[in-house]
Structure 1
């Protein structure tokens, strides 16, 4: 007989059928949710892409609940086994009679937590998995898809926040940063397919040079005129918002000489500029998708 007894504990879902997961990869540690019926044997963190078993990456509250539920299962099992043992030990004895007590009642163990609310739900067109994430992500948890659908989903999330957040100025600042972050995440993933060398993908023309050098492709070849200017401005305005209090500096003018007369003024952030830049960015990333081998 086995020395171990295994109990299966189901982790409860939220009202919509999603269950939380917490990535344990160094530098990630982020929370997301997966629609339980879509679970395969293995999934991927939507933020960092690490592959994990469906029976891992549980959150601390989930593990606490599972431990309490397993202890209760073990308690009932142990009582039943002891009763069987005594019944068998004294079966046929003329001197000792054993009468089992009442069957043990399993106490209900309920989770003392609720799954967190997250920003946005997505449905992958490649593998049909449904998942929910905070902010910018880089991968489908089901198929690790890294194509333009991921970019489109991130851009849709940025636009939704622009429409719904009450502080429009604050959200525009976040949107400029989120668009650059989307570009950075996408380029980082593609870079691993062409070189072990790290790239700086928060700088537009550094990214262009990286893929020219390592993949022989000019990602900006089809991005020209006002589209390219809007894209350049988004990268530089994001930088001054983070590092210069939103004021146009000499460094900004060096990168965007078209705005020389604006030196020393506050940057102007607009939804129209973001939308133009997002279109240009999609064209640039589309070049990478076509030029760099997709995962098998």
Structure 2
């Protein structure tokens, strides 16, 4: 029996499309990165584990089948063309054979563009997924901590850009930096806790801390009392930016101990505030990653 080999090509950036046989979601990996000669693959979405050759996409399988059929039909046509014959002249009965046709067309495809490209900090596999959070297809390391720390890094870059901006733009970039780092933390914390504590919100970090305290999880381990108070104050500043145009209200004064004379004034946010908040949030992120594991 004749056999045919089909090469599945990588995309322009070197990624190979994959599809989970369990949840049927699409992702990509870059062969040559990650664990050498890793024979099994994890789905970054549902963490299904199976052999690499179980993760071909439907388009790749259709393409491979069409290539094989194209070769078979081409070989068959070539064989039949060798049997072609013209009718002989001056014969009472003469039959000619003519072969026409083309090999079956190939079903070409292209890999899809995905939203998040990640290099696993644990095994260095480069992979791409929909959304932001997922498991490494090689080592199953969840990327939530890596993603939030990457976002913190982007905020620090924004603060660097703010230094050379006009006073108005500088102030706005610093405010955006505060909002962005808290949003990144909130997204990480919700994702990290989604399996064990699916209804837990971190918009109000004080309430979240109190709820996790009941389960023996101390998210502020490593922070002093004054550092924790500082974190709480920055979350309250973010609330003012989001809902009060940054104007100090009575609730802010009550929750932060701010001087009553600040009532009605614009809340002050500095570059140092944002940088210190990122430093403290990294401690909380590490605590959550340590005590709450993704299954």
Superposition TM-score tier, normalisation by shorter sequence: 0.5 to 0.7
Which residue does the alignment assign to 2:271?
A: 271
Determine the C-alpha separation between the residues in 2 that align with 1:270 and 1:133: 35
Identify the match of residue 35 of structure 1 among 24, 30, 36.
30
Offset of 1:237 from its aligned partner?
A: 1.9
Determine the C-alpha separation between the residues in 2 that align with 1:156 and 1:110: 37
Identify the match of residue 152 of structure 1 among 149, 153, 156.
149
Determine the C-alpha separation between the residues in 2 that align with 1:253 and 1:110: 60
Which residue does the alignment assign to 1:200?
A: 201
Deviations 1:214-268 (A, max 9, x none): x212322542354223312321222222222222222322322225432222233
Cα pair distance change 1:254/1:9, threshold 3 Å:
farther
Q: Is the 8 A contact 2:66 2:106 kept in 1?
A: yes
Q: Is the 8 A contact 1:21 1:33 kept in 2?
A: yes
- Which structure 1 segments of 5+ residues have no match? 23-28
DSSP-derived class of the 1:41 partner = strand
Determine the C-alpha separation between the residues in 2 that align with 1:278 and 1:160: 12
Identify the match of residue 83 of structure 1 among 62, 77, 80.
77
Which residue does the alignment assign to 1:163?
A: 160
Determine the C-alpha separation between the residues in 1 that align with 2:62 and 2:233: 55
Identify the match of residue 123 of structure 1 among 119, 123, 128.
119
Determine the C-alpha separation between the residues in 2 that align with 1:262 and 1:200: 29
Deviations 1:54-77 (A, max 9, x none): 545x9xxxx7xx799789858955
Q: Is the 8 A contact 1:137 1:185 kept in 2?
A: no
Aligned residue runs from structure 1 range 34-73, under 5 A: 34-38=29-33, 41-44=41-44, 49-51=45-47, 54-55=55-56, 73=67
Q: Is the 8 A contact 1:199 1:206 kept in 2?
A: no
DSSP-derived class of the 1:199 partner = coil
Cα pair distance change 1:109/1:191, threshold 3 Å:
closer
Deviations 1:85-120 (A, max 9, x none): 8559989x9954435469769899796x9958x78x
Q: CA RMSD in A?
A: 4.9
Identify the match of residue 180 of structure 1 among 174, 179, 182.
182
Cα pair distance change 1:150/1:96, threshold 3 Å:
same
Q: Is the 8 A contact 2:159 2:177 kept in 1?
A: yes
Q: Is the 8 A contact 1:140 1:150 kept in 2?
A: no
Which residue does the alignment assign to 1:209?
A: 210
- 1:13 paired to 2:42: no
Offset of 1:129 from its aligned partner?
A: 1.5
Q: Is the 8 A contact 1:236 1:252 kept in 2?
A: yes
Offset of 1:204 from its aligned partner?
A: 0.9
Which residue does the alignment assign to 1:26?
A: none
Deviates more, 1:283-292 or 1:200-209: 283-292
Offset of 1:170 from its aligned partner?
A: 4.1
Cα pair distance change 1:102/1:137, threshold 3 Å:
closer
Cα pair distance change 1:101/1:251, threshold 3 Å:
same
Cα pair distance change 1:177/1:96, threshold 3 Å:
farther
- Which structure 2 segments of 5+ residues have no match? 20-24, 35-39, 49-53, 88-92
Cα pair distance change 1:156/1:139, threshold 3 Å:
farther
Structure number with greater Rg is 2
Determine the C-alpha separation between the residues in 1 that align with 2:159 and 2:135: 24
Determine the C-alpha separation between the residues in 2 that align with 1:122 and 1:192: 21
